[in-house]
A and B are shown apart, each in its own frame.
Chain A
Amino acid sequence: MVAVKQVAALEEDQLPVQVVQSLDLGDAALELNDWDRYALEAGVALAEEVDDASVVAVTVGPAEADDVLVESLAKGAERAIRVHVDTPLDDPFAVATRLTAVAKREQIDLILFGVQAADVGHAATGVATAAAAGMRSCAVVRTVVWDGAALEMERELEGGLLERVRLHLPAVVTIQTGSNRPRYANLRAIKQARSKPIEVLSESELEVADLTRRAASVRGLRRRSRANLATMLEGEVAVSAERVADLIRTMGAA
């Protein structure tokens, strides 16, 4: 199972000016979360190598989120499931309970997630899902290889240090960007993927354990106050370049 999320990338002028309780996504550009592209590639590559393995792409989202499932199907997922919710869910625990219900229903051995969502970035949904599902987990992984009995992986630690670990199934692994080269789905593949069925499940038919579970409540969202201590140079490039060149020369670096 590869868990994918459709994230909204808001432009500057789409950000709220006042304090709000939730974001109006309006015309925001929606796309497959960058980290999830790498998770999907890792899943499809594993399924290609291992007999009897296939990828089911799963998302929790409203109807628009079908787009990321179509993209997943176009890139090699065999099946796709959407847990329907009316508005996008950002809370990692709320998403985890719903994904766990799908994993149980589908009798999943391995769930791949991207390390984090580009929009909200808790980097927690994968590990929370493992906890909810009673599975082992390994977070921030670069390479994943099946050695016939277990997964061999590299955790990407700070400063470029890597740790090689071995993990038995059932397990959840969260995949870091740059782990692989995500394959590209051309228009033809997308078109073919659109004709494949996406299974849409409601929360009630999934028998989600605790629909109210959430990590936190959002009391407010506001523009971040920016401390601007820099000397700002705008205008003529030649003028800015001269000033910076001067500075660099003065500091003796050139």
Chain B
Amino acid sequence: MSGVLAIVETRQGCLREVSFEVVEAALTLSRAGAGPVTAVVIDRAAMDIAQRLTETGVDEVLAVTTPVEHFEAHVWATEIERLVIDRSPLVVVGAHTVDGMAWAPAVAYRAGAGFAADVVALDWADGALQAHRLIQGERLQQELTFDQSIAVVTVRAGAFAFDLTNDCAEVVVTECAPASVDAPRAEHLCFVEPDSDDAGLANADFVMAVGRGVGDEDGLAHFERLSEQIGATLAVSRPLVDAGWAASSRQVGQSGQTIAPRIYLALGISGAVQHLAGIRGAGTVIAVNIDPAAPIFEVADVAVVADIFEFADALAERLA
């Protein structure tokens, strides 16, 4: 038993960028002695997509060409399980994404493998895998080990940075016929593109984002007025959209928009990882929160511990 399978992610005929992070996680294990890395592309256009992985430092690139046009959990899981049986890898690495959540636990369960999701660090020592992940609102780090001889892990986006400038030897892509002759179990009907950028967040220079700290719908309205006063475009974190107080076009985060304003002023946002995923490219992050332990303070350039209403009113007085 040896080696690491890096299962990359595709969507609508393209490689998703998180795939490089999956490769990096696999390479981390390989460098520590887990064996060679095989990058696996499962897609109808697998051969084309696989070309993007040939110089990433992996030892092999496998293109599994499926007849299925879109990701389907059962088809992907069947292909990966076949590879696990054929190649006996020590670790299978995927991304902790919506697709990853659909195949990884199923593959792990059926293969009798160990499993950990949303992993932020991986170690390989003495022939054994250790996975690190965060629980209890990102405040505690869990160190996991596995009893089984094979483990499936999914990595958090942003946790394993891939260096695209690294010069690596090119490998050839091997095409692989699909294992699965079963029909997909879920039938793809269509995609629905997200709402247009009605809120104007995509190109906004100065964004003021609010979260649960606003308390209620009236609180949100108060901040909406303030954002107009100070000339900022208003954004919200997910809980306010879930509660029905704000339109999804204002949502910033993993399932909303990813933006990169010069100034991002976050008020009453705790800094859940799904929200932070939406502002990785932001310039100056100013975070205001009553809780000095709010995770957002770790990514902020300026951290203000204060009541957000008091602070925002004081700020608006000075800027308006």
Asked if A pairs with B, the answer is yes
Q: Are A139 and B73 in contact (CB under 8 A)?
A: yes
- Which of A42-50, A192-200, A211-219 lines the interface with chain B? A211-219
Known interface pairs A15-B140, A127-B101; A230-B301 also in contact (CB < 8 Å): yes
The residue from B105, B138, B187, B232 contacting A92, defined by CB atoms under 8 A apart: B105
B 96-144 contacts with A by CB, 8 A: 96-98, 101-102, 104-106, 108-110, 114-118, 130-131, 134-144
A51, B256: Cα distance in complex, Å:
36
Stretch from B24-32, B159-167, B173-181, B308-316 that touches the partner: B308-316
Chain B residues whose CB sits within 8 angstroms of the CB of A163 once the complex forms: 70, 188-192
- Return the contact of B186 from the options A10, A125, A166, A232 (Cβ within 8 A): A166
The total number of A-B Cβ pairs within 8 Å is 256
Tier of interface size on chain A: 35 or more
Is there an interface contact between A136 and B74, defined as CB atoms closer than 8 Å? yes
In whole angstroms, what is the CA distance A137 to B195 when docked? 27
Report the minimal beta-carbon distance from A40 to chain B, rounded to whole angstroms: 15
Given contacts A224-B138, A228-B297, contact A219 B256 (CB under 8 A): no
In the complex, B251 has a CB within 8 A of chain A: yes
Does B87 make an interface contact (CB < 8 A)? no
Instruction: Check if A160 sits within 8 Å of B257, measured CB to CB.
Output: yes
A193 to B204, CA, bound (A): 50
Q: Nearest Cβ distance between residue B92 and chain A, in whole angstroms?
A: 13
A221 at the interface (CB under 8 A from B): yes
Q: Tell me the smallest distance from the CB of A114 to a CB of chain B, in Å.
A: 12
Q: Which residues of B are found within 8 Å of A178, using beta-carbon distances?
A: 238, 241-243
Assess whether A165 is in contact with B187, with CB atoms less than 8 Å apart.
yes
Contacts of A174 in B (CB 8 A): 101
- Is B302 in contact with chain A by the CB < 8 A criterion? yes
Which residue from chain B places its CB closest to the CB of A100 in the assembled complex?
B109
The chain A residue sitting closest to B305, CB to CB, is A234
- Neighbouring B residues of A221 by C-beta, 8 Å: 135, 140-143
Interface string of A112-139 (1 = CB under 8 A from B): 0001001111111101101110001111
B192 touches A254 (CB 8 A): no
Contact A224 B303 (CB under 8 A): no
Chain A positions within 8 Å of B102 at CB level:
127, 137-140
B149 adjacent to chain A (CB < 8 Å): no
Does any Cβ of B come within 8 Å of A203's Cβ?
A: no
Interface residues on B, range: 35 or more
CA distance A222 to B142 in the complex (A): 7
Q: Which residues from A are CB-within-8-Å of B244? A: 181
The answer to whether A138 and B186 touch across the interface, beta carbons within 8 angstroms, is yes
Of the stretches A78-86, A102-110, A238-246, the one at the interface is A238-246
B140 adjacent to A254 (CB under 8 Å): no
Q: Are B319 and A93 in contact (CB under 8 A)?
A: no
Nearest Cβ distance between residue A152 and chain B, in whole angstroms?
A: 7
State the main secondary structure of chain B at its contact with A: mixed
* Contact A131/B105 with A226-B298, A244-B302 known, Cβ cut-off 8 Å: yes
- Chain B residues with a Cβ under 8 A of chain A: 11, 70, 73-74, 96-98, 101-102, 104-106, 108-110, 114-118, 130-131, 134-147, 151, 185-195, 205-206, 230-232, 238-239, 241-244, 248, 251, 254-258, 262-263, 265, 284, 286-287, 292-293, 297-298, 300-307, 310-311, 314-315, 317-319
28 CB < 8 A contacts A-B:
A15-B139, A15-B140, A93-B115, A122-B117, A125-B105, A152-B189, A157-B11, A160-B251, A161-B193, A163-B190, A164-B190, A167-B185, A178-B243, A216-B115, A216-B116, A216-B146, A216-B151, A218-B144, A230-B303, A232-B305, A237-B306, A237-B311, A237-B314, A243-B302, A247-B302, A248-B230, A253-B263, A254-B319
A10-B139, A122-B105 are known; give 19 further A-B pairs, CB within 8 A: A92-B105, A93-B108, A120-B135, A122-B118, A127-B105, A128-B105, A132-B109, A139-B102, A140-B98, A157-B11, A161-B193, A163-B70, A178-B241, A216-B145, A221-B142, A222-B141, A240-B311, A241-B315, A245-B315
Task: Using CB atoms and an 8 Å cutoff, list the residues of chain A in contact with chain B.
Answer: 9-10, 12, 15-16, 23, 92-93, 96, 115, 118-125, 127-128, 130-132, 136-140, 152, 154-168, 174, 176-178, 181, 214-234, 237-238, 240-245, 247-249, 251, 253-254
